[in-house]
Structure 1
Amino acid sequence: MVNRILKWWKEVMDWKERFEKLLPSNYINGRAFRKAEMRKLEKIMSYPKGKLNEDERLSQKMLFQEQYKQLERSLYPNPVVRLVRNAGKLAFASLKWTYNKIKGPAPTTNKNQVRNEKTAPMSDAEIRQFLKRSMADSKTINQQGEKTTAAKPEINKKVTANKVKKSAVIVPFKAGKPVRKGL
């Protein structure tokens, strides 16, 4: 199996060599470039140890003890500054972890929406088929809309008062109590 840590470290070294060819040496030895290299190393170090095999864990530990510590000492020569920086990173990480634990996992579905059981199309053929179906559906809806709009003028004809038949409706009414007139 390929050691991912060494592979990623090789990518960092290739990145560094590429910039060494392009940029002058005073920039490569400068603080900004070393900080960028340190961020790349931190990204490699932040990969979860549980997902690594034994060889990769050992490589990660060696990389941390040798390269990362050396780079950190060159960037921050004052031990108090290193201590404060590392304590700040630890405090921020613990606050972030606590917030995520309190907040809880994100809901999988919105409670106000009906769950859609359709799956999204994955291949090009499925996308084309989906588009054809949706275009066909929209055409049938448009055709149905045209049929109903054609019938609307007949339904909404203006009726004059002379043509309307007046009819009286007789409602049976039984008074339970006598009706009083007046106040």
Structure 2
Amino acid sequence: MEPRRGEIGSAAPPDRRHPEGASAPEGANREVHPAVFVLDRHGHPLDPCHPARAHRLPAAGRAVVHRYTPFVIRLKDRSAADCVVNGVAIGIAPGSKHTGLAVFTDHEGSRAGRYAIQLDHRGALIRDRLASRAALRRGRRSRNLRYRTPRFLNGGSPWCVDTLSTG
């Protein structure tokens, strides 16, 4: 029997579920979940928390969902005056085509990234659309169209001679 669809080697599946990830160091292949932003009952920011905790708090009745994108919860039983807030720093990496925005927290001298987004600039998109529009306009101007002969038998023009009436 020959291998099909790119299958090479034995037909038996490997005994590990993820063979390439098994030899990697611990935590190297793990997906990093972004932190969830938390507000107190007055809408003031608190320290971000883990997504699992953020999804348990509304189910327990301790919080409400304030916004879905990005996911933000508002605690009902906390105020910023009662809590110690470590602080959040924002990093901006400007570029010609994209701008990167990141939110960091400092905890015991180590900096941890909590949220990151990439903002795509519309400059190139607008330039490409204007160039496409100009190319279509040039194409319409230089198109080799046949000359449309004048129509004399449409019956409404007084200076056109009606060739069918021999009268």
**Which of 1 and 2 has greater Rg?**
1
TM-score normalised by L of structure 1: 0.18
Name the structure where strand makes up a greater proportion of residues.
Answer: 2
TM-score normalised by L of structure 2: 0.20
Higher relative contact order (CA 8 A, sep 6+): 1
Name the structure where helix makes up a greater proportion of residues.
Answer: 1
